[in-house]
Each structure stands twice: as structure tokens, then as C-alpha cells.
Amino acid sequence: MEKISKLIAAIVRSEFGVDLTSSVSISDGEHGDFSTNVAMQIAGRVGASPRDVAEKIVAKLDLDAEIAGPGFINITVSGRWLNDSLNDEWSEKFGENRDGAGKTVVVEYPSQNVAKPYSVGHLRPGNQGWAARNLMLATGWRVITDNHLGDYGAPFGIWVVGFRKFSSPEKLAEGGVYELGRVYVAMKAELKEEEKRGEHTLSDRVQEWLLKLESGDAEAVEYSQKFNEISLDHIHEVMGRLGISTEHELGEAFFAPRGKAEVQNLLDAGIAVKNPDGSIIVHLDEYGIKTPVLLQKSNGAALYATTDLATLKYREEQWHPDRVIYAVAAEQKFYFEQLFALAKKIGIKTELIHMWFGLIDQMNKDGTREKMSSRKGVILMEELLDQAETTARQNAKSPDMSDNDIRKIALGAIKFTDFSKDRRTNILFNWGSMFSLTGFSGPYVQYAAVRVNKILRDNIATPPAAISAKYNFEAEREVLKKLIEYPNTIKQAADSLEPHRVAQFAYDLARVVNRYYENTPVATAGVDADTKAARLGLLAKTAQVFAHSLNILGIEIPERM
């Protein structure tokens, strides 16, 4: 596509003296391989009819081209032409580009809260954030990743009071983060009851422990270290299972004290204002936002926005990013509008992006669809992963599949579901189809990749010969056309932060390749050496693109399936 765009751009320049700033847009032709409406685009500018413009272009184009309608140009190329143009572009890093060269991006994910076990609420931020990281890397950015842990505020106090009331060191040793979660939920319920009664003994105690922690009280610090360690170990373990990680892990607790100092600066500068009750806000009317952002409570406590204010400043000072991507659920859309307006108001020019997601639905046995939950309420990530592994094992064709391959397939199914549609749409967990080897699923694509890899492995002895000029690549047309699209897919997915475009591509490639060897013997007896080398060469390229695209999505290719 790149090649054909350039060809046409060159003709347009020499014939009409028009410099097309963007590359010529080429689409899959309905009649032919490619089509372009460039003649219509420039006709007005050069003062000729689209049809005349198209005719001039076609006359110069050394390819089989036809004009349709008011001036569409439909181009048909040979298989050999496709192969040669793919070869021209081919590299070890085929698909990557340098759009982001010299620029720095901070990508923030999955930013769980430490108080409770990792739940599916942070599945999409993790998967999509990881894919965003990979897309930025594939387009040449310098990438810094940060897990903005929700580890500040009341949870600590609630844990301590709840632990002393409902739990014991033995129970904690046994249940770990699940015991902490149980204590947290039970304590929250008690606090609610207490509030209803109009009392505040327990909530006072929660505040006391928070103050103790702030003042460095030894017992409070010990509790905090113990609980955080349990929770963090859990978070790391589950992130490991999901195959995601971040370089930094600067949570809200790290930023809270800095946030308070920043709030004071904003007060001094007259940007923030103190209300009569002592709370501190920043007005955002000039950005079309009626609700001011609350930066400090009347009792002086730091808030979510306080920590984010400090986070913004810290990232500017430490990393000088050109862009920050926050992979966070859609619920926080308004909050991020406020935060980004606040950033503008304090002079931060960095591009700030809230990469948000639709909800996760589940398909019930009776065919109805609802927000994903379990009888106990929210679904835990470990349960989800366990269930996916169990299902992967049940569906496995061969009984001796390795645990590692099972794990890859389970993750492939989960992640592909996440990337099944535009990230802003709700996704559906349907255990019946997520593992389907015939439909749109991770395992379907993985299976296609495994098959390609196997053919290559079985024929490893075949040297990659130079293909003779007489091999015409007509049987390979569809695969070649798909592969040629890959760099543009990556570009678009990165520009729009839409990893599902990569998933869609990988699925389409799998389909095209499956159809290819239904009809085309690659390395069976009777295939002559020239043909075999040509076909294996194509499969090697296909294997590389499968590996690259699935890697962007955080999906690994099993050894066997």
C-alpha cells in the first residue's frame, strides 16, 4: 500500500504540481486490489474534471487500472507485484514505524486499589494499558509505565480497625489478601450501620489510625507495611499471570504529601480558593466545567484529585513527557475532564489522554446478558483466570498439552474478548464462544499461528532460496495483500489508541491463511523446490506478523495446540 501510495503521489506531483501532504488514501478495491479517490480530491484544485484527472493518472500508472464512477481509480496488480512490494518493505521489525521518535509517553495502568483482592474491574485497564504501551513502543516512542496504585486514605484505617475487630494473625496468614478483603468489606458494612445510627465511635477509630500512620507511630507503620506487603504480593502475582507489568509503581500514598504542598502553592498563586468551611477548590468555568475540582477536604485531608495534581507535576518534572495515557474505566470520564482542565489551568501543556473502556458483560446460561458478576458479587481476577484455564483444558484437543500452553490459551481467550470491539463498547464474556476454534477468538488466531509455526519447523531444512522470476505468487495474493496492510494497521491503532484494530487484523490474517492452505499445498510431496521455497517464505513472513501483532495485544503463541 505504501508503495502504491507513493507511486500515485509521484504522478500527481509531476502531472499536476500538487503535493499531497498526507499519503494517498488507498482502500481495498471492490473491483481490483486497490482503489483511490485522489482524482476527486484534487480536481477542484487543478481546475479539471475528476474524470480527466483520473485519466491522466491512469495513463502514467504502469499498472492495470480502470476508472469507475465519477473518477475512482481501481487498480489491479499481479501476485508477483504484491510479493515484490512486500519484499521492498520487509524488515525484522515489519509493521513498526518511528512516528513517536524523540517523544516520551507515560502510560498508566492498571492502577488497582490495594484494599481488596484484584477484581475484573481492573481487567480492561491492564490489558488495554499494556497494549497501549506496546503500540507506543512499536511506533518509536520512549515509553514509561506506571501503576498508580490506589493505596491511600481510609482503607488503611478500615483495615486496622477491622483486623482488630474481626480477624487474627492466624486468619491473616491463612487467607492473605482475601482475608484483608473480607475484613475491609465487613468493616465498611459496620461503618455504614454506625452512620445510620448517627454514631461515630468506629469511624473515629479509623481516623485515629490514619493520623497515627501519618505521624509515624510504630504500630501503625508495622500494620501498614504488613498489609501493603500482602496486597502488593498479590497484585504482582496476578499481574504476572496476566503477563503485564510496569516499571514504576508510584501510588496515591506516594503523592499525598506532595499533593498537600502543591495545593498550598495553588492557594498562594490564587489559582485555588478556600471555602468558608476550609475546603479548597479550583474553579474550572473557563473550560466549560461548572463543577469545581475539590482539592482538599474541610478537615485538611488530601483527596484523589490532590494526589493526581501531585502526580501530574511529578511526571512533568521527572520525565518531561509529551503525552500521558491514563488507562482507566469509563466511570471516571468526568473526573478526568476536570483533572485535564486543572492541568491546563496550572500551565501543563502535555497531551493528556483518558483511554477509557466499556463495561464487561457476561452471557448467562439462559442466553441473557448482564454486567459480569458472581453470586458473591464482583468476580475476582484469580477466579476468572482459573475458570479460563479450566475451560482451556476442557477444550484442549490433545490431553498432554503443557500447563504453559494452557495458560497461553486461557489468556488468549480473555484478552481477545477484551479486544473484540472498539474499547469504548461493552464486551461480552461468553464462555461458549471465547475458545471457539472456528469463530472470532484468541484461540482461533493462536491455532492459525501454531499451524504456521509447525509447518516452518517441519521444513526447517529447506533453505530460504531466492525465488526464481517465473514464480507468479498468484495463489498467494490474498495473504500478501493482508500482510501488506499490517504497517498501516499499526499506525492507525497507535494513532487512535485502538488495539482492537490489531486484533481484527490478526483474526483476518488467520482466516486468509487458513483459506490459503486449504487450497494450496505448501510442502507436500510433488511441490517443486521453487514453489516450496516461495510458499515457505511467505509463511515465515506470516509467522513473524502473527508473533508481532499478538505480542502487541499481550497474547503468546502456544508451542502446540
Residues forming beta bridges with residue 437, ordered by sequence position: none
The piece of 106-114, 136-144, 373-381, 493-501 that touches ligand ARG (CB under 6 A) is 106-114
Q: Distance between CA atoms of 511 and 445, rounded to whole angstroms?
A: 8
Residues forming beta bridges with residue 142, ordered by sequence position: 104
Return the residues of window 454-513 that contact ligand ARG according to CB under 6 A: none
Residue 111 in the binding site for ligand ARG (CB under 6 A): yes
Which residues, at least 6 apart from 267, have a Cβ–Cβ distance to it below 8 Å?
273, 274, 280
Exactly one of 326, 340, 356, 505 binds ligand ARG (CB under 6 A); which one? Answer: 326
Residue 328 in the binding site for ligand ARG (CB under 6 A): yes
Closest-approach residue to ligand ARG (CB): 150
Q: Closest separation between CB of residue 328 and ligand ARG, Å?
A: 4
- Asked if 346 and 266 count as a contact pair (C-beta separation under 8 A), the reply is yes
Residue 308 in the binding site for ligand ARG (CB under 6 A): yes
Which residues, at least 6 apart from 332, have a Cβ–Cβ distance to it below 8 Å?
354, 356
Grid cell listed for 547: 508473533
Exactly one of 116, 133, 148, 260 binds ligand ARG (CB under 6 A); which one? Answer: 148
Nearer to ligand ARG, 355 or 392 (CB): 355
Q: Closest separation between CB of residue 251 and ligand ARG, Å?
A: 8
How would you write 318-341 as a 3-class SS string?
HHCCCEEEEECCHHHHHHHHHHHH
Q: Closest separation between CB of residue 47 and ligand ARG, Å?
A: 53
Residue 150 in the binding site for ligand ARG (CB under 6 A): yes
Residues forming beta bridges with residue 34, ordered by sequence position: 28, 75
Nearer to ligand ARG, 190 or 322 (CB): 322
Grid cell listed for 46: 487543478
Q: Strand 280-282 vs strand 104-108: parallel, antiparallel, or unpaired?
A: unpaired
Residue 147 in the binding site for ligand ARG (CB under 6 A): no
Nearer to ligand ARG, 82 or 497 (CB): 497
Q: Distance between CA atoms of 504 and 420, rounded to whole angstroms?
A: 7
Q: Closest separation between CB of residue 307 and ligand ARG, Å?
A: 8
3-class SS of residue 72:
strand
The piece of 105-113, 228-236, 419-427, 488-496 that touches ligand ARG (CB under 6 A) is 105-113
Residue 119 in the binding site for ligand ARG (CB under 6 A): no
Q: Closest separation between CB of residue 150 and ligand ARG, Å?
A: 3
Q: Distance between CA atoms of 413 and 434, rounded to whole angstroms?
A: 5
Q: Closest separation between CB of residue 528 and ligand ARG, Å?
A: 59
3-class SS of residue 435:
coil
Q: How many residues bind ligand ARG (CB under 6 A)?
A: 9
Which residues, at least 6 apart from 445, have a Cβ–Cβ distance to it below 8 Å?
412, 416, 506, 507, 509, 510, 546, 550, 555
Q: Closest separation between CB of residue 310 and ligand ARG, Å?
A: 10
Residue 181 in the binding site for ligand ARG (CB under 6 A): no
Q: Distance between CA atoms of 83 and 65, rounded to whole angstroms?
A: 19
Exactly one of 113, 127, 350, 453 binds ligand ARG (CB under 6 A); which one? Answer: 113
Q: Distance between CA atoms of 251 and 88, rounded to whole angstroms?
A: 47
Report the run of H or E that residue 295 belongs to, with start and end.
strand 293-296
Nearer to ligand ARG, 111 or 395 (CB): 111
Q: Closest separation between CB of residue 113 and ligand ARG, Å?
A: 5
Nearer to ligand ARG, 326 or 416 (CB): 326
Residue 309 in the binding site for ligand ARG (CB under 6 A): no
Q: Closest separation between CB of residue 554 and ligand ARG, Å?
A: 20
Residue 389 in the binding site for ligand ARG (CB under 6 A): no
Cα separations in angstroms, 533 against 83, 85, 90, 471: 13, 18, 17, 10
Residues forming beta bridges with residue 324, ordered by sequence position: 106, 352
Residues within the interface to ligand ARG (CB under 6 A): 108, 111, 113, 148, 150, 308, 311, 326, 328
